[in-house]
Amino acid sequence: MCLEQDGKDYPLAEAVVGIKYPPLHPWCRSTTIPYFEDLGGERIAKDADGTRYYVPGDMTYEEWKEFVLDNESNRRIMDIGGHGKHVNTDGLRNEQPLTLQQQKMVADYAVSLGMPRENIYYLPNSLTGYNPTWDILVIGTDVFPLNERVSNPNSNVSYKGAIAHEIIGHRMADLQGVAHPDQLFEEVQASVRAARFAPGLSRLERSDLLRDAIGRLHIRGLRLRDIRGELFIDEE
């Protein structure tokens, strides 16, 4: 009942307690705020472990639920013996909480790539990803690779490579209207674009991104040269 009303605005003259105005049910904790056309800012949300963080002020509960709770690519979590929840990457990426220094380091690099700082959110129970609907970059613990290099290409991609993948790869392609409709090809395109155009990456970091792209295609039995013409990777 309350959830359906979130984000809606009504003239005060039409306020009807129990229908359009709280309390809407017994023990209702809903509240109201004045409406302004230019109302922006942020609102507080709560993570699965009770951690508070901020989301855009005009994001409704249903939109937050769809983005954070219902989207498997944004939040893949598992219960750990009743002691809270954390991201499960099947051991392919870092799963330990980031320190404040690490969070700042990642956010600073994202900002250097053009991501508005106010659109960057650290959600320890989420996977790192860019959401084009809200122009939001979610930073999860998986932004960092494993502590040692392994055979899986994606596990070796550095935090800079991961952020470049999301911003130079996904965000810039989306803003230019060249995001690929095929999910696999979009991920491959993002890694190649990051490897080619992202500033501040070492030769090894660029190489790891290209290996990530090639590895993703290998799963479907494809080679990069076979689909190169379908990807937006030759210009920034």
Q: What is the pLDDT of residues 131-160, one digit of tens each?
A: 998 899 999 999 999 999 999 999 999 999
Contacts by residues 170-177 (CB-CB < 8 Å, ≥ 24 positions apart): 170/130, 170/132, 171/114, 171/115, 171/130, 171/132, 171/135, 171/137, 172/114, 172/236, 173/232, 174/130, 174/132, 176/232
Query: How confident is the model at residue 181, as a pLDDT?
Result: 93
Residue 9 resides in a domain = yes
Helix (H) or strand (E) holding 5: helix 2-5
- Contact yes or no for 119/166 (Cβ under 8 A): no
- 184: alpha, beta or left? (left if phi > 0; alpha if psi -120 to 50): alpha
Buried b (16+ CB within 10 A) or exposed e, 194-204: bbbbbeebeee
Residue 208 resides in a domain = no
Query: How confident is the model at residue 81, as a pLDDT?
Result: 29
Answer positive or negative: Cα dihedral of 170, 175, 176, 178. Answer: positive
- Contact yes or no for 127/75 (Cβ under 8 A): yes
Q: How many domains does the chain have?
A: 1
Residue 13 resides in a domain = yes
Residue 173 resides in a domain = no
Residue 136 resides in a domain = no
How does pLDDT run along the chain (236 residues), one tens digit per residue? 677 788 788 888 888 888 888 888 888 888 888 877 766 666 777 766 666 666 777 777 777 776 665 554 444 332 222 333 445 678 899 988 888 889 899 999 999 999 998 889 888 878 899 999 889 999 999 999 999 999 999 999 999 999 999 999 999 999 999 999 999 999 999 999 999 999 999 999 999 999 999 999 998 899 998 888 889 888 75
Percentage of the chain beyond pLDDT 90 is 45
Residue 233 resides in a domain = no
- Contact yes or no for 205/161 (Cβ under 8 A): yes
Residues near 9 by Cβ (< 8 Å), separated by ≥ 6? Answer: 35
CA distance 193 to 213: 10
Residue 111 resides in a domain = no
Residue 73 resides in a domain = no
Parent domain of 22: 1-39
Nearest of 224, 226, 223 to residue 195 by alpha carbon: 224
